[in-house]
Structure 1
Amino acid sequence: MKDWQGVCKGMVTGMVLGGFIALPAQAQAEDAGIRVIQGGPAYFNMGLGAFNAAGVSPGVGKNNATLPEMDLEYQSGAKLFGIGSVYGIVANTDGGFMGYTGFYTDIAWHHWILTPVLAMGGYHQGRGKQLYGTFQFRLELSLDYQFANQSRFGLKIAHISNAFIKKQDPGEDEILLNYSMPISWGEHQQGG
């Protein structure tokens, strides 16, 4: 199972970093209908899924179990070169949770939106999985369908890891169904 966990870490890391590295190639991608979204509304995202969904070793006890989880996230509408800020919290049913902040970008292809996220924050184990340290990194990649009203629905994969700043880095992988609701702060401030 350790090999599967390494493969998952590598895939998520590669996809997230690939999303950010691909930004300079925007002009070529636009010819194929792919574009980086430069602005737009802020989003409030809600995800339901499984904490520690991959890389679970059988027989190692309750602290390595796959658990139901919820992810709440705010993505700013303001972006610089297509990169915005993200703030969120993910919590599982064994009292484990992580508050995080970082950066994201949206890459659009017709009605499909690919969103890589690179974040860091603090993890509290609760009765859940030991991740060896409070300070953790969070990588996400979501693929959502955007409806005419700009709301989005799709699938998100995520990974929490200490990136080997500690001697042990078991990490954990998540899979979630994700719903994103656009928020228009400007209209609320103007009373509209």
Structure 2
Amino acid sequence: MGHFKNLTIATALAGLLGVTGLAGPATAQESDPSLLALGVGWYDFNLGDDEAADFRIEYRHGQGFFDILKPFAGLEVTSDGSVWAGAGLALDFKLGNHVALTLSSGPGYYSEGDGKDLGSELEFRSQAELSYIFDDKARLGVAVSHLSNAGIGDRNPGTEVLSLYYMVPLHSLTGN
């Protein structure tokens, strides 16, 4: 529960930045392209009970709902054979021209494989990410995410993942 509390504090801080104008607008802009995100990380880095390498691929849509929430969909696989596949919504706060704080959350299907038993096939992923935005709109970021079944399973050990992301605008891949 302490990890959820920390993410809640980070979310509140990001909201405060947006309200006070310290962050740029959280609205989707024409300059916000859809992104293909590739990530590599350290699964269960905080507890070390079931450490594994973590690999991710995500689609992050550039346009948002109500000009604030942007949808994403992703697949996460560990070296132990655990798989999370899900989708959700992200808030993308611009902190100047080259830095973004992205907070995201969404449900997904989880299969433990030979990895950590998280107590349910329905697992929610919450993530806080800080990234550098290059002039071509590609991004390099670091993220901390939490996987949890929110107490709906028989057990809810949860896990944290520390990840490094590289995000490339889809238009640069397709030529459009």
TM-score, with normalisation over the residues of structure 1? 0.81
Distance of 1:170 and 1:51 partners within structure 2: 13
In the other structure, the counterpart of 2:42 is 50
In the other structure, the counterpart of 1:116 is 103
Contact 1:33 1:109 in 2 (8 A): yes
Distance of 1:65 and 1:94 partners within structure 2: 9
Change (3 A) 1:55 1:12: farther
Contact 1:37 1:108 in 2 (8 A): no
Contact 2:18 2:24 in 1 (8 A): no
Residue of structure 2 aligned with 1:73, choices 31, 54, 58: 58
Q: Does 1:87 align with 2:73?
A: yes
In the other structure, the counterpart of 1:34 is 24
Unaligned runs of 5+ residues in structure 1 are 1-5, 57-63
**1:112-145 alpha-carbon deviations (Å, 9 max, x no partner):** 1000001101000000000011001000111000
Misfit runs of 4+, over 3 Å: 16-19, 21-24
Change (3 A) 1:167 1:23: farther
Distance of 1:9 and 1:164 partners within structure 2: 12
- What amino acid maps onto 1:34 in structure 2? G
RMSD over equivalenced CA pairs, Å: 2.2
Question: CA offset at residue 55 of structure 1?
Answer: 2.6
- What amino acid maps onto 1:95 in structure 2? G
Question: CA offset at residue 102 of structure 1?
Answer: 0.4
Indicate the SS of the match to 1:74: strand
Question: CA offset at residue 14 of structure 1?
Answer: 3.3
Q: Does 1:104 align with 2:96?
A: no
**1:39-60 alpha-carbon deviations (Å, 9 max, x no partner):** 321011111111111133xxxx
Unaligned runs of 5+ residues in structure 2 are none
In the other structure, the counterpart of 1:11 is 6
- What amino acid maps onto 1:44 in structure 2? L
Question: CA offset at residue 168 of structure 1?
Answer: 1.5
Q: As a proportion of its length, which structure holds more helix?
A: 1
Alignment size in residue pairs: 172
Distance of 1:135 and 1:143 partners within structure 2: 26
Contact 1:140 1:158 in 2 (8 A): yes
Distance of 1:137 and 1:16 partners within structure 2: 16
Distance of 1:104 and 1:16 partners within structure 2: 11
Percent of aligned pairs with the same residue? Answer: 23
**1:60-102 alpha-carbon deviations (Å, 9 max, x no partner):** xxxx321111011111112122211000011100110100100
